[in-house]
Copies of this chain bind each other. A is one copy, B any other.
Amino acid sequence: MLTSKTPVGILGATGIVGQRFIQLLEMHPWFEVAWLAASERSAGLPCSKAATWRLKTPIPERVAQMTVSPADPATAPKIIFAALDSKVAQELEPKFAEAGCAVISNSSAFRMQADVPLVIPEVNPTHLTLIDKQAWRKKSGGFLVTNSNCSAMGLVLALAPLQQKFGIEKVFVVTMQAVSGAGYPGVASLDILGNVIPFISNEEEKLEIEPRKMLGSVNGTGAVLADLIVSAQCNRVAVEDGHTESVSVKLKKPASKEEIIEAWTSFRGLAQEKRLPSAPDQPIFYDPTPDRPQPRLDVERGAGMSTSIGRLRPCPLLDWKFTLLSHNTVRGAAGAALLNAELLYAQGYLGKHE
């Protein structure tokens, strides 16, 4: 490595989220991809061969020529981004944490474990203190930090300012999710062209529980879920990137339309305060146009890291209805993990740097 950047590795580098990690890390001011691992049949191949590159920007030349390593912590750098299937993550992530790695994971495997932070830097950065409860941390210095499911991410960003100012009791959410969320090859074209699929395996379960951890607190024992109820229904639609969500919320105390919009547009967190490189200037963008947000037009706001919201209006059942949009493979996956890594770096969890 000729640069002074911190080397990082990617577990699961060849999938759609792995490709986003590669794309987002190219040109990163602090980190540099130094190691890639994927499934056994990819090991030994150059990354350009192992991955079916599906992003609109070409694979960076340097990474294209890197050889895919076996998923073995012995050869890996100490900072690992993980984009693994849940089953594989269940087995591999502890191995890397055990071996002293900072594992920054997009997988669902350990998200709800009490001593594992499920973090959004703008929302619950203090949950990082859970790291010190992890057995790995004590033993080898390694640890595990996770970000949420792609459909929970935009929702929690939209809810956090309301939770902070007014409290939240109940949330209805119906998602219309992009096909990139299913990876590659993922959804068959015969299944989705001109169609809606009203089912995504385990998605509603995650969307009903993960927000409660992120909007909850941390006590001596671990994470404490927030006292609110989420009812979720998840659908797949013929959109490439960007999950759209129709939401209705019941607040704990009354708020006017103006107060809610003000809560959203003024919302900033530690990510902005510390000027983390991947933090959007404005985490939440409210668009007063009647027919927005739309994935085709709005998904790239804040380089894919902002949540777009529109159509705030009264709900005859709860208090307020609105529509949100969040980029599922950037803010909802690779970008989320990267922002978590930047927060960890800024907080000193990733070793010395000056």
Dominant secondary structure at the A interface? mixed
**B193 pairs with A189, CB closer than 8 A:** yes
CB distance from A195 to the nearest CB of B (A): 4
Q: Chain B residues with Cβ under 8 A from A230's Cβ?
A: 316
Given contacts A237-B176, A246-B174, contact A194 B296 (CB under 8 A): yes
> Could you tell me which residues of chain A, from 139 to 198, have a CB within 8 Å of some CB in chain B?
170, 172, 174, 176, 179-180, 184-198
**A244 pairs with B295, CB closer than 8 A:** no
Copies of this chain, how many? 4
The chain B residue sitting closest to A196, CB to CB, is B244
**A229 pairs with B291, CB closer than 8 A:** no
Once the chains are docked, how many angstroms separate the CA of A348 from the CA of B83?
55
Once the chains are docked, how many angstroms separate the CA of A195 from the CA of B295?
6
Given contacts A176-B176, A196-B295, contact A233 B248 (CB under 8 A): yes
Once the chains are docked, how many angstroms separate the CA of A311 from the CA of B197?
11
Q: Chain B residues with Cβ under 8 A from A188's Cβ?
A: 184-189
**A194 pairs with B244, CB closer than 8 A:** no
CB distance from A286 to the nearest CB of B (A): 14
CB distance from A354 to the nearest CB of B (A): 36
**B190 pairs with A291, CB closer than 8 A:** no
